[in-house]
Amino acid sequence: HTFWGIVPAAGVGKRMAADRPKQYLPLAGKTVIEHTLEHLLAAEIWAGVAVAISPEDPYWPELAISRHPLVHTAPGGKERADSVLNALDYLQDRAGEEDWVLVHDAARPCIAAADVHKLIDALKDDAVGGILALPVADTLKRVSDGSISETVDRSAIWRALTPQMFRYGALRDALRDAAAKGSVVTDEASALELQGRRPKIVEGRPDNLKITRPEDLPLAEFYLKQLS
């Protein structure tokens, strides 16, 4: 098996309302994205990791990890899915159609190398692939106009995390199809679902949070301490 990493890191982090994209915010003595990449690289399975970076991004070239021999810089796109497609295109001469690609958000710095291995061990012989995900703890409500219309059966609902692991050719085709149809896909699995595939889920860990709001940073710092 051959494994490629793709890290979409071209978002601007609107919900963070900070002076720079959230992947460059300081976290436990480094930037968020340095933690993310160091944890991924610690899994030691990579043929290479392509990081999708906005062409106007002044922060990325300043980081030593941007020159790591396994790290490649691909151009970011308008939406997350465009960034992932660009990174897939960047890898086209290196990756084989059946190679595995693991897509992991730059904004998830607390990914444990053990969780990367858990995903790979569970799915490396699977035809389709799948994602790390978590069962939902809270009771779920369907809401419209500020009031509850029903309670949703939470036993059938999982939260999608990353990494998400699919075959190179299948992921490229699914994302291209979704783009051509104008379908909104906020993760890789949804693009494959649109093609009628059934990605598997592998239970991840609650500490694999996505930095989204300012209060996520101290939480991530706490989780990073527990991980090390």
Binding site for ligand C5P (CB under 6 A): 8-11, 23, 52, 76-80, 83, 105-107, 210, 212
CB of 199 to ligand C5P, least distance (A): 18
Nearer to ligand C5P, 2 or 176 (CB): 176
CB of 146 to ligand C5P, least distance (A): 25
Residue 81: DSSP 8-state: H
Nearer to ligand C5P, 161 or 174 (CB): 161
Nearer to ligand C5P, 59 or 122 (CB): 59
Nearer to ligand C5P, 2 or 54 (CB): 54
Q: Return the half-sphere exposure (C-beta side, CA atoms, 13 A cut-off) of residue 23.
A: 24
Q: Are 39 and 114 in contact (CB under 8 A)?
A: no
Nearer to ligand C5P, 52 or 71 (CB): 52
Contacts by 190-194 with C-beta closer than 8 Å and gap 24+? 191/81, 192/128, 192/129, 192/166
CB of 64 to ligand C5P, least distance (A): 20
CB of 169 to ligand C5P, least distance (A): 21
Nearer to ligand C5P, 9 or 50 (CB): 9
Q: In terms of residues, how long is the chain?
A: 228
- The strand ranges marked E within 90-157 are 100-103, 129-135, 140-144, 147-152
Considering Cα of 159, then 163, then 167, then 168, what sign does the dihedral take? positive
Tokens representing 47 are 């043929």
CB of 38 to ligand C5P, least distance (A): 15
- The strand ranges marked E within the chain are 3-8, 26-27, 30-31, 46-53, 71-75, 100-103, 129-135, 140-144, 147-152, 158-167, 200-203
CB of 40 to ligand C5P, least distance (A): 12
